[in-house]
Amino acid sequence: MAFVGKKFPSITVDAMNDMGDTFKVNVLEEAINNKKKVLLFWYPKDFTFVCPTELHAFQEAMAAFEKRNTVVIGASCDTPEVHFAWLNTSKDNGGIEGVTYPILADSNRNLSSVLGILDVTNERYDEETDTVQVDGDNVTYRATYLIDEEGIVFHEGINHMPLGRNVNEFMRLIDAYSHVQSHGEVCPANWEEGKDAMNPNAKSTAAYLASH
């Protein structure tokens, strides 16, 4: 199910921070109540290989996201306790010590199930045990959601497990969407802050293509 153009699901999830505090986060409310954009990124598992590189990359860009009035939130299906252990593991040992943004602990998979981002290749009924069994790890893909100040999703993307994300691309998308919000113009391919945008009409498109 695609969520672009729709409100992000209003589901409250446990979260952990670097101080060891467990608290509740509702991503939709974070956007609306604080009048901020939200970047929510999901990763498969704590204590793995590509995942810490992404969490540190988002941390290194925190000032740039804050400048763009954007809150960063990480998420996986690990428990708060596992998150806290990873937050207390040094970077040299594959940990995420130094990460300061909250990390959702969707261990009951309430939110990730609604989003449809779990690695569930097949669900099957087992007659012998009278249970539904799952093929696949039942953890999330590398899904990313950009949500505006009204709680509307303006970007979503899903990477397979081995493919790390480009943090700069999300800043470009936030810049582009902010430009649309402020100026009512549309942003062509490869648009970056400071480049020409277009009015949403055929004449403007033709002029832009002719000049590029």
CATH number of the domain bearing residue 44: 3.40.30.10
Structural domain boundaries, residue 63: 12-165
The per-residue pLDDT for 132 is 74
Overall number of domains in the chain:
1
The per-residue pLDDT for 137 is 82
Domain membership of residue 189 (yes or no) is: no
Domain membership of residue 176 (yes or no) is: no
The per-residue pLDDT for 121 is 62
The catalytic position among 25, 27, 51, 87 is 51
Let me know: does 188 contact 194? Beta carbons within 8 Å: no
The per-residue pLDDT for 20 is 92
The per-residue pLDDT for 117 is 96
Domain membership of residue 26 (yes or no) is: yes
Mark whether 77 is an active-site residue.
no
Domain membership of residue 201 (yes or no) is: no
Cα 77 to chain center, whole Å? 14
The per-residue pLDDT for 122 is 65
Domain membership of residue 191 (yes or no) is: no
Structure-block tokens of residue 36 = 């901020």
Domain membership of residue 187 (yes or no) is: no
Domain membership of residue 186 (yes or no) is: no
The per-residue pLDDT for 207 is 77
Can you give the pLDDT of all 212 residues of the chain as single tens digits?
Answer: 699 999 999 999 999 999 999 999 999 999 999 999 999 999 999 999 999 999 999 999 999 999 999 999 999 999 999 999 999 999 999 999 999 999 999 999 999 999 999 998 666 777 778 787 777 689 999 999 999 999 999 999 999 999 999 999 999 999 999 999 999 999 999 999 999 899 988 677 777 778 88
C-alpha to C-alpha distance for 137 and 78, rounded to whole angstroms = 12
Domain membership of residue 154 (yes or no) is: yes
Q: What is the pTM of this model?
A: 0.92
